[in-house]
Copies of this chain bind each other. A is one copy, B any other.
Amino acid sequence: MSEGALKVALLGCGVVGSQVVRLLGEQADDLAARVGAPVELAGVAVRRLGRRRDAEIDPALLTTDAEALVTRDDVDIVVEVIGGIEPARSLILSAMAHGKSVVTANKALLAEDGATVHGAARTHGSDLYFEASVAGAIPLLRPLRESMAGDHVRRVLGIVNGTTNYILDKMDSTGASFADALEEAQALGYAEADPTADVEGFDAAAKAAILAGIAFHSRVTAADVHREGITEISAADVASARAMGYVIKLLAICARSDDGRSIGVRVHPAMIPRSHPLAGVREAYNAVFVEARSAGRLMFYGAGAGGAPTASAVLGDIVAVGRNRLARTRGPEESTYADLRVHPMGDTVTRYHVSLDVADKPGVLARVAETFARHDVSIQTVQQEGRGDDARLVLVTHRASDAALSATIEELRDLDIVRAVAGLMRVEGDDTP
């Protein structure tokens, strides 16, 4: 062990952890030059010692006693890539209490109980870096926290879950059903055997909470995020969007209200115009669009998951906290001074695409239009497809509140002339008012 080296304790040695081990070894010389001191692995906490791993690790470094590892005197930096709430939270808190800097990729913990973890960092004067928790290798949190610190963010609109983007992209490009696209994603390793966290939007919601908190200098938790998944999206929905020049994406959207006094944070499938830069994000890639008052529109694009890309973000954070330790300083703390309220989904203002199966007789459009008008939802375009029993009205609204739209839809369902609400989806990324 080198004199003056920075010692890293790694918690977890799965897909990401084994890449962290590999890169700490392969890039040791570069890391030493960039940090200003060698960076060495002090130990790796795992659940079982005997397991086969992707990285070659000196068996003497492995331990099942994570608590002992994070409190060891010679450890400087604790890297947590276990995921989930416990034991990750307890280990991070223990590490901070013992003066360690922490690097984590744990979106669930930060989104569900960020207050505890950030609070401990403040109390103990610890560094807490978590670039890898959102959008894998894409530098996003540091640019938002630091590069844009002199700007006023209006909206963050992103594709932050690779699994669902892969599925929706397949549905769009091949016409596949959700079930078939999911099966393909599972076969290729893009989706897990139990795909719930991805396809129901839980993963994206955690990331949305973290992004919103940073972008708007407020405390946002996963519970604040309105969440809808993609399991109900049909091949017909995708085809209908395509015919209108749109593509369906699962979006995480964090936006200030029009009066600037609150924020909305939501994850749901939405139609975006094919000309929008996010429409071109294919396969399992991620991309995040940021709209700020002075900077205008920025986009960050890259691999949002995977062992090596996520490890790249972890290593960037290790270099940062390593430099901070040598300089006896800390990176920026959590910033929640703006303390903006998260408004309920009903207050969200956006546009809607509505398909109605209707009776084909005179006066239908008038009654439908009147129902929208009664709720102050203004219609931008309407067109009738088919005739007779197959008649369908396809409407796109101007911006309206989610509450008004919901009330409209409820009333439409009760009309005798409306046989069914065949489709309902929000429209985003389109500047029409």
Q: Which residue numbers of A lie inside 8 Å of B, CB to CB?
A: 19, 23, 27, 30-31, 33-34, 131, 137-139, 142-143, 146-152, 217, 277, 280, 292-303, 306, 308-309, 311-320, 323, 327-330, 332, 335, 337-338
Contacts and interface: CB of A to CB of B under 8 A. Distances in A.
Contact of A34 (B23, B316, B335): B335
Contact of A142 (B146, B303, B335): B146
A146 B280 contact: no
A318 B146 CA distance: 10
A352 B292 CA distance: 40
A320 to B, nearest CB: 6
Contacts of A149: 34, 315-316, 319-320
Given A23-B150, A316-B146, A298 B31 contact: no
A146 to B, nearest CB: 6
A33, A142, A277, A293: residue with the most chain B Cβ atoms closer than 10 Å = A277
Contacts of A295: 137, 302-303, 308-309, 312-313
Interface on chain A toward B: helix, strand, loop, or mixed SS?
Answer: mixed
A72 B143 CA distance: 32
B337 A308 contact: no
A62 B354 CA distance: 58
Query: This chain: how many copies in the complex?
Result: 2
A313 B277 contact: no
A317 B23 CA distance: 30
A150 B31 contact: yes
Contacts of A329: 327-329
12 contacts: A19-B294, A138-B298, A142-B147, A143-B147, A146-B319, A150-B312, A150-B317, A277-B280, A277-B301, A296-B308, A323-B332, A327-B330
A33 B142 contact: no
A152 B27 contact: yes
A298 B296 contact: no
A154 B182 CA distance: 34
Contact of A320 (B146, B217, B296): B146
